[in-house]
Structure 1
Amino acid sequence: MFVFKSVFFCLLFLCTSSLYAQEIKKDTLSSYQLETAKVSGYLTEQALLTTANSVSVVGQQAINSQNNSSFLPGLNTVPGLRMEERSPGSYRLALRGSLIRSPFGIRNVKVYMDEFPITDAGGNTYLNIIDPASISQIEVLKGPDGSIFGSNSGGVLVMKPNGFQKIDKSKTSINLAGGSFGFAQQQLSTVQQVNPKYRFSFDQSFTRTDGYRENSALNKKTFQTAHQWNYIPQAKLKLFAVYSDLYYQTPGGLTFAQYQDNPRASRPATATTASAKEQKAEINNKTFFAGLSHNIQISKKLNNTTTIFGSSTKIENPVINNYEYRDEKNLGYRSYFSYVSEDPLNWQVQIGTEGQKGWYDIANYDNNKGTPGSPQAKDKLENWQNFYFVRTKVMIVKKWTIEGAIGLNQNQIAYKQVYPVLSNNKEQIKFGTAWMPKIASSYLITTNLAVRASISSGFSPPTIAEIRSSDNVINTGLRPESGKNKEIGLRWEWMNRRIIGDFSYYQYNMDNAIIRQLNADGVEFYQNAGKIKQKGIESAIMGYIITPNPLHIVRSLYINSSITYNDYRFSAYQVGDKNYSHNKLTAVPDWIIVHRINLELPHQLGLYIQHNFTSKIPLNDANTDFSAAYQLLQAKLNWGFQFSTQLHAHIYMGIDNITNEKYSLGNDINAFGSRYYNASPTRNFFAGLKLTY
């Protein structure tokens, strides 16, 4: 019933928006345009309306709409995307179903920071090292696209850090916040336009919380800087660097009975294992990432962008059954040429390459109540991935856009056992060579309505964490995921981009899907699940029901509504004598419906409300256990005022989980002993002060 109510709400929104628009004069509409006019994720800047792909843009307003210590509220407004937080600092992100591979972290989704890939050579992304306040915009490119982005079968995120966007004037802000469960935060951000050729940003943050559950505290410190030099009119140089010192505890999953009895508890001890608290289960992550990117306009039509980057991550991770150390280092490059011509046809072509090499030293010891004991296993692994790509795009009579691309992907892993047996030689795991083609097209039916269609390929080899998982065994039999995606969509704009609507239908047939499993000791490992059919519908509409006007009682009313429907099924999946074919795909809800309302009132008062409905979620491959559906309601009240002509202040307060819903955000799928549940906080509050100079 709730689903039908939400669909009705979206239809009502369409009707009321259209009726209200009749009262607005055409020459006043330019100031009401939404911020998502263009996207740059596909190598060159292009208009969103004519983009032949499914793209969503999350602006800084959405990122900061609730408690800006987390990306969750903003990113969860995107249809087809689901972000979870098992406990503070422990994030997971699913883009079209890819969550099934991630017990924690982000896999199977490629993430860029502007031109810099922050997904490492091993296929993992530490998104939790980034502070949300340091990001000005996120482009979400949905669906598999190995043609120009390399390994992924979920999609791509392109994040834009502060400092790389044009600004009207320099500004500095400091944010201080506190709230329930010992939450405290400090954020400092400055963007300085030093002269017409050079600008930079510096962002620093400190966040801590005791957490809702036992053994779920967080302590996070980040430092980020971005610099751009336009040293000559034809060229610019970018530098990006981030350092994060991240510590968070991991409370572990609960059975349903434990979840009902005391959801705030951490995983208790059993007759054979200690509790999460006794074993001091936690993660210490110290990561440094840095890169340089250079762009030069070689001629009027030809330019080149070349990027080099590297990272170092050191992790200590005591868990129930072992104490793990990881030392990870990565180096990489990305370079492509772009040729753009508007005579006689509007066409362009890009040709380029990207590659990374990763070195991983992993050691596991017995965990003696938070202290490393006797060694269990030590391994050295190296991962190398490289891809080459060619992309071309042509626009015919300013209506019909045709885009084609092909990528050649190469991946391999070398490993050497150090303990308990010292290997003399490195062994190789080669995933072969994969051609990843894509063709897409968009046609402008009217000046404001475009229809699109695409066929693309996905290819995602196992990550280092899947090849060498918690069972300390090198899984040489794990194969890459691959598949073909077919998609159609509509995108429309009304009243000079005051309102935008988007609709997509896709079908992705995947082979060798990688699924997380647990053995009899509760230790995770991964296996290929055969074939999966993923069919989905995504729709979104955003815009102003009441346009900004400083003379009205209601200054403006902005609404963003999205609906996601997932019909995901195992097509052919058998483990021993158990056949899971035609079951629902583990960890993927059928429905996700999100509404966001921004209401601006006199005296710089703002009210921001977000509602999320998520249907029940299958917790195991057999579909014998499901988590309950939940509705999450959040709100934030903001009051802005001027101290002086140069100093502006915002006082804000917010409530998370207003209705005190009992839900688990970040279930442990296929958990041994049915310990699926990671309880989310009950009703909680936050408040803060932000000063901008």
Structure 2
Amino acid sequence: MAAQFINGQVVSAETGQPVENVRVFHAQSNLQVFTNTEGEFEIRAEIPTKLQFSLLGYTSYSETVTAEKVKIRLQPEIGQLSEVLIQAANIPKSVRELPASVSLIRSAELSKTDNFNLVQSFNKASGVFVNQGALNTNKITIRGIGARSQYSTNRIKAYLNGIPVTTAEGELTLDDLDPEIIEKVEIFKGPVSSVFGAGLGGAINLYTKYSFENSAGVQFDYGSFHTRKMGARAGFSENDLSGTIFLTNLNSDGWRQNSAYERSSFNGNFQLDHTEKTHWNLFISATNLKAYIPSSLNLEDFQNAPEKAAFTWRQAAGYEHYNRQIAGISLSHSFSEKFSNLSSVFFTARNAYEPRPFNILDENRQSLGVRTKFNYESSFLERQASLSFGTEAMREWYETGTFQNLYEEQQANGSLEGERLSLNNQHRQYLNLFAQANWIITEKFQAEAGASLNFTGYELIDDFDDSVDQSGKYNFSPVVSPRLGISYELFEEKNLYASASHGFSTPSVAETLTPEGLINTDLKTETGWNYEIGFKGNWFQKKLYTELNLYSIQVRNLLVARRVDNDQYVGVNAGKADHNGVEFTSVYQENMDENWHIQLRITGNLTDYHFDRFVDLGENYSGNELPGVPEYSLIPSAEVGFKNFGFYLNYQAFGRMALNDANAVYTEAYQLLNSQLRYSNNLGKLDYSLKVGANNLFDEAYAASVVTNAVGFGGASPRFYYPGNPRNYYGSISVKYQF
């Protein structure tokens, strides 16, 4: 057969973006070509034939080509951390070149823990701290922002495949996502409102795994406390259509009383390459969860009987049960080599039922939104420049009601629904307009500037027939959030950067209500400025990557959620706070020979978070430490691989934490040691892997989560503490067959 021209495109398997300058080699004819800026190539060869694809920073790949048109997806190398493109940035850049602090957690790092909890791995990112009270009780803080939240994560914007998973009023739940579906996590630290809107602490962008092969697999995990998980996955790829489906079920009896947990989930990710310039993506997720709640403990129980549940929560058999759905469809289109657009439409829904000792909460939430972003490549003063602009909007409908909990009238433990106490409908919406420009001033010096304009409003409709009408509307004043960043390559692959960025967070609907149930129109948006300088550099032929940054976040109109009853908080603007800190990351990786490889990693941070000016109810807390944040963290880890075996050791040390604004009570510093042994191999087309591990090898007694500013009602001691799990073990086996 005569030789033919093979036309193809090479894209990143992580981002789907074209990859330039990939070497395409045909060994039979000793012919090579390189991809252009659109990742496209043309090579003359006789079909079928084998082509080899290689580029520094990507895993080399070979494929037998059987058609005149082909699409190749290259996987970035795990060790090339500094060169990975940050996908969520308005104008994608590599980690090293981006004038911002972004931590990257990839699936290989997620797999070094048990497969039960996604967010536990976030602690490995410098400046990030995760309170882990239970599988369903997690609170994430970034640079101390959000630490004073009682139970949930707020002031952080999060996206899953570009779909906002933070509610319109700023609350976030990520602990119900299965780690097996996640390919990578990008954590932006510090205010990034110019890109993502409301999110004073930062942003978390998660991306699910793609499959470009026909395969099927199953996995089984078992751990202490009778924790077991079963999962199945299937992938297909046919011409321009590919997809991946995940099914998982997780059950656990829990270590503490009243802590049983069950979660079932479905996740599907589908891609259609309609043309070379037009690509569709569809993501669907459904989760059903029922988790009992042991709640927090006072100091005496925490020290002497940490396995106990709080008495009233055990007596009421308190739990949360919800169904959550996420769906989004996105369209990527290149109008030309210089002009492109990415647009998405998304829908989320959640209905929940939560019996608590003080009442029973019944809630239903739906949200609908759109996001679109245009990118344009141009030049300015004969230097390369890039422009990005777009908008994001969301409308949320939220119905919430409470009932009496008559659990005390029952002989056995358990909740009993009584009379209705409240019924409210809330309409929440926001509109965010954003723009950013990047300019390569010289070969070594780059600058970026951006800004966003945000509009947020709430409407509350009180449908409960009583003497108090809480109905009302409130629109916050528009917020402009600018950002400026510069990056200078001081030496080859060693960059200095500096940035200044503005961020904000709006109060929740509950925080806007006065004790009388009326909307407090005097409440202001919490705002802050982040000033940051840092260094990012590669050493020893990219075997070593180091990052060091110093930052100061100055928060104004500090929003304080003052607890006035078991289930009632009142928001007040109480002053100012300064979040100052140092973060560092260092990763060394080397392949010693064809059998041995080693990776050493260390991350950590030192903090000085304090109230600049804070007076609440006549008490002056100015100068005090912010509660709920460790004074330091240090997390070194080591991984050694020999042939098909891998051994991983991870040490975590955290400083003490203040528990209230008065700094009258502190936790003790603690340290954890975790380990894992892995083995992977294949039998023809069958891939299989085994792993066993242990957490908390020291069997340390520690507070895994805290309730800041806890109040003891009725003369009871305040319940600050969620005890961490004692020493525990897990094992996993997985198999995958490629058709």
- Normalization by structure 1: what TM-score? 0.90
Counterparts of residues 416-565 of structure 1 (less than 5 Å) = 416-421=461-466, 426-464=471-509, 466-467=511-512, 477-519=522-564, 521=566, 523-544=568-589, 546-547=590-591, 549-551=593-595, 555-565=596-606
Equivalence for 1:356: 394
2:192 to 135, 139, 145: 145
Counterparts of residues 121-270 of structure 1 (less than 5 Å) = 121-163=168-210, 169-195=213-239, 197-268=240-311
Equivalence for 2:44: none
Using the alignment, how far apart are the partners of 2:511 and 2:673 within structure 1?
Answer: 35
Structure 1 residues 33 and 686, CA, compared in 2 at 3 Å: closer, same or farther? closer
Structure 1 residues 548 and 68, CA, compared in 2 at 3 Å: closer, same or farther? farther
Equivalence for 2:114: 67
Larger RCO: 1 or 2 (CA < 8 Å, sep 6+): 1
Equivalence for 1:683: 727
1:625 aligns with 2:665: yes
Q: Is contact 1:336–1:351 with CA below 8 Å preserved after alignment?
A: yes
Deviation at 1:527, TM superposition (A): 3.3
Q: Which letter does structure 2 place at the counterpart of 1:630?
A: Y
Deviation at 1:577, TM superposition (A): 2.1
Between stretches 57-66 and 470-479, larger displacement belongs to 470-479
Deviation at 1:72, TM superposition (A): 3.5
Q: How many residues are aligned here?
A: 651
Equivalence for 1:587: 628
1:652 to 686, 691, 699: 691
Counterparts of residues 632-643 of structure 1 (less than 5 Å) = 632-642=672-682
Equivalence for 1:272: none
Q: Is contact 1:65–1:73 with CA below 8 Å preserved after alignment?
A: no
- Cα deviation 1:207-257 (Å, max 9, x = unaligned): 111111111111011111111111011111111111110111111111111
- Cα deviation 1:49-105 (Å, max 9, x = unaligned): 111111111011111111021124421110011112111221211111123243333
Q: Is contact 2:135–2:175 with CA below 8 Å preserved after alignment?
A: no
1:288 aligns with 2:288: no
1:302 aligns with 2:342: no
Residue aligned with 1:278, SS: helix
Using the alignment, how far apart are the partners of 1:150 and 1:623 within structure 2?
Answer: 32
Deviation at 1:465, TM superposition (A): 5.3
Q: Is contact 1:77–1:596 with CA below 8 Å preserved after alignment?
A: no
- Cα deviation 1:405-429 (Å, max 9, x = unaligned): 0110111111011224388895112
1:41 to 88, 103, 106: 88
Using the alignment, how far apart are the partners of 2:467 and 2:277 within structure 1?
Answer: 54
Q: Which letter does structure 1 place at the counterpart of 2:438?
A: K
Q: Is contact 2:495–2:536 with CA below 8 Å preserved after alignment?
A: yes
Using the alignment, how far apart are the partners of 1:670 and 1:606 within structure 2?
Answer: 43
Structure 1 residues 471 and 261, CA, compared in 2 at 3 Å: closer, same or farther? farther
Equivalence for 2:373: 336
Between stretches 246-255 and 468-477, larger displacement belongs to 468-477
Structure 1 residues 171 and 543, CA, compared in 2 at 3 Å: closer, same or farther? farther
1:115 aligns with 2:162: yes
Q: Which letter does structure 2 place at the counterpart of 1:584?
A: E
Using the alignment, how far apart are the partners of 2:692 and 2:218 within structure 1?
Answer: 16
Using the alignment, how far apart are the partners of 1:648 and 1:666 within structure 2?
Answer: 38
For structure 2, the 5+ residue unaligned runs are: 1-54, 60-76, 408-414, 713-717
Q: Is contact 2:146–2:201 with CA below 8 Å preserved after alignment?
A: no
Using the alignment, how far apart are the partners of 2:540 and 2:584 within structure 1?
Answer: 20
Deviation at 1:571, TM superposition (A): 1.0
Structure 1 residues 374 and 199, CA, compared in 2 at 3 Å: closer, same or farther? same
Equivalence for 1:21: none
Using the alignment, how far apart are the partners of 2:423 and 2:469 within structure 1?
Answer: 14
**Which structure would you say has the larger Rg?**
2
Q: Which letter does structure 2 place at the counterpart of 1:587?
A: G
1:576 to 617, 621, 624: 617
Q: Is contact 2:119–2:174 with CA below 8 Å preserved after alignment?
A: no
Structure 1 residues 517 and 331, CA, compared in 2 at 3 Å: closer, same or farther? same
For structure 1, the 5+ residue unaligned runs are: 1-26, 269-274
Deviation at 1:120, TM superposition (A): 2.2
Structure 1 residues 621 and 68, CA, compared in 2 at 3 Å: closer, same or farther? same
Using the alignment, how far apart are the partners of 1:474 and 1:287 within structure 2?
Answer: 29
Q: Which letter does structure 1 place at the counterpart of 2:358?
A: N
Q: Is contact 2:293–2:319 with CA below 8 Å preserved after alignment?
A: yes
Q: Is contact 2:262–2:290 with CA below 8 Å preserved after alignment?
A: yes
- Cα deviation 1:581-630 (Å, max 9, x = unaligned): 1100010111011112211124x121111111111111111100111111
Q: Which letter does structure 2 place at the counterpart of 1:566?
A: T
Residue aligned with 1:584, SS: coil
Q: Which letter does structure 1 place at the counterpart of 2:384?
A: N
Deviation at 1:519, TM superposition (A): 2.7
Deviation at 1:376, TM superposition (A): 1.6
Q: Is contact 2:690–2:733 with CA below 8 Å preserved after alignment?
A: yes
Residue aligned with 1:127, SS: coil
Deviation at 1:362, TM superposition (A): 0.8
Using the alignment, how far apart are the partners of 2:685 and 2:558 within structure 1?
Answer: 55
Structure 1 residues 336 and 676, CA, compared in 2 at 3 Å: closer, same or farther? same
Equivalence for 1:8: none
Counterparts of residues 89-100 of structure 1 (less than 5 Å) = 89-100=136-147
Q: Which letter does structure 2 place at the counterpart of 1:404?
A: A
1:671 aligns with 2:710: yes
Equivalence for 2:14: none
Deviation at 1:371, TM superposition (A): 2.0
Structure 1 residues 648 and 484, CA, compared in 2 at 3 Å: closer, same or farther? same
Structure 1 residues 647 and 548, CA, compared in 2 at 3 Å: closer, same or farther? farther
Structure 1 residues 566 and 438, CA, compared in 2 at 3 Å: closer, same or farther? same
Q: Is contact 2:212–2:243 with CA below 8 Å preserved after alignment?
A: no
Deviation at 1:472, TM superposition (A): 7.5
The alignment-based identity, stated in percent, is 22
- Cα deviation 1:98-141 (Å, max 9, x = unaligned): 23243333211111112222222222222123111100001111
Residue aligned with 2:705, SS: coil
- Cα deviation 1:246-287 (Å, max 9, x = unaligned): 11111111111111120000112xxxxxx1011121111211
Deviation at 1:494, TM superposition (A): 1.9
Q: Is contact 1:393–1:402 with CA below 8 Å preserved after alignment?
A: yes
Between stretches 77-86 and 335-344, larger displacement belongs to 335-344
Deviation at 1:537, TM superposition (A): 0.6
Using the alignment, how far apart are the partners of 1:423 and 1:228 within structure 2?
Answer: 51
Equivalence for 1:18: none
- RMSD of Structure 2 on Structure 1 (CA): 2.2
Residue aligned with 1:665, SS: strand
1:404 to 429, 442, 449: 449
Using the alignment, how far apart are the partners of 1:329 and 1:55 within structure 2?
Answer: 31
Residue aligned with 1:573, SS: strand
1:601 to 635, 642, 652: 642
2:653 to 602, 607, 613: 613
Using the alignment, how far apart are the partners of 1:415 and 1:606 within structure 2?
Answer: 55
Q: Is contact 1:437–1:456 with CA below 8 Å preserved after alignment?
A: yes
Residue aligned with 2:289, SS: strand
Q: Is contact 1:640–1:651 with CA below 8 Å preserved after alignment?
A: yes
Using the alignment, how far apart are the partners of 1:116 and 1:548 within structure 2?
Answer: 41
Q: Is contact 1:72–1:84 with CA below 8 Å preserved after alignment?
A: no
Using the alignment, how far apart are the partners of 1:491 and 1:114 within structure 2?
Answer: 27
Q: Is contact 2:212–2:236 with CA below 8 Å preserved after alignment?
A: no
Q: Which letter does structure 2 place at the counterpart of 1:684?
A: N
